Chains A and B, each alone.
Chain A
Amino acid sequence: MDKHKSDILVILPAFNEAPMIGTVLSRLRFIGYTNVCVVDDGSSDMTGREALKYGAILLTHPINRGAGAAIQTGISYAKNNGFQHAVLMDSDGQHLPVDIERLCYSMQQTKADIVIGNRFSSRDNDIPDHRIVYNYIANVFTNIFCRKKYLDTQSGFRLLNRKAIEKMQIKNRGFGFCSEMIIYSERAGLVIKETPIQVLYTKYSMNKGQNLKEGIRTARSILWRVIFE
């Protein structure tokens, strides 16, 4: 797999993640992922400086545009620089870099274009109840617009192959990109699979991520795109 690692660009969208970004980058480097791109989404803390200190490629949004915008910036970078695979991960440390291997293995086995890390397949993942409820509602809503049924539509841990990198055009600039990526990738003829991953919910990571307000915004944005665009 080492040969594989040089083909992979790990994309970390980051907004005010200075306390954690160094740890995440160290973990990735420790297991051999050297192509790591941090998209600093207009942070007001030292996120960018920390990312550079730990050897990441740094892309900086001058103002905060949201996770979806940051992800698309990272994907564009992967596309422009010829990377064969892109891994999307959260910067708050909830995803384990060792699980990248799982995603790669699943992609190899299933010939999928996108592999999504499914947090709900493992009972070891101590997912807070309100997150389970929120994700369930988001799954039901997203699956309405999909041909297949997905178990974790809101997972930010994903692996994309070159075909997916080239076709990806995320318009939703917020967390709604998770649903949008699935819905529009299916329409573009990309094959999507899910594979179990582990997650670490800490006090720090619980303060990040999606909430009800963001969920409503996502629903509104998807409905708008489906009906009017």
Chain B
Amino acid sequence: MEIRYFQIIIPLLVAIAIGKQIRDTLKGKAGLYESIIISVFWTGVAGVAIFPDFFSDLIAKVFGIKNSTNAIIFFAIGLLFYFQLQIYKMLRKQDQLLTEISRKEALKNVEKK
């Protein structure tokens, strides 16, 4: 089996993320169930990275995508997901800023009878 760069880099990043989660759990900063959910999520990401062909075939079977086009489709879906995530992040930030301004305004103009 030919090993590609992402098959090494992504599992390494996942290992760091899970290690951090375990450290937070041991320090009592994160709950056990929460850590399990997060670890399962990241393990899934690592799984897809290590066995891309297996998951490609699986998704191809489920969605009826031909193998030859898998890479492009996955790339496009990943890119769309990334863009959506970035937009959502920006929206959240703007929303938080708006709330901060409202709160500051309210605290500046306290009214009493």
What is the interface of chain A, defined by CB distance below 8 A to chain B? 39, 42, 48, 52-53, 55, 57-63, 65-66, 69, 72-73, 76-77, 80, 144-147, 171, 173, 186-187, 224, 226-228
With contact pairs A144-B31, A145-B34 given, residues A52 and B111 touching in the complex (Cβ less than 8 Å): yes
B64 contacts the other chain (Cβ, under 8 Å)?
no
What is the interface of chain B, defined by CB distance below 8 A to chain A? 28-34, 37-38, 41, 89, 92, 95-96, 98-99, 102-103, 105-107, 109-113
Residues from chain B with a CB closer than 8 A to the CB of A187 are: 29-30
- Pick the most buried of B28, B33, B37, B113: most chain A CB atoms within 10 A of its CB: B113
A-B pairs with beta carbons under 8 A, tally: 74
A73 pairs with B28, CB closer than 8 A: no
Q: Which residue of B lies closest to A186 (CB)?
A: B31
A144 to B33 Cα, complex, angstroms: 6
A-B contact pairs, 16 of them (CB 8 A): A39-B106, A58-B110, A58-B111, A59-B111, A60-B106, A60-B109, A65-B103, A69-B102, A69-B103, A73-B103, A76-B107, A80-B107, A147-B28, A187-B29, A227-B41, A228-B89
With contact pairs A144-B37, A187-B30, A227-B41 given, residues A57 and B112 touching in the complex (Cβ less than 8 Å): yes
Residues from chain A with a CB closer than 8 A to the CB of B99 are: 65-66, 69, 173
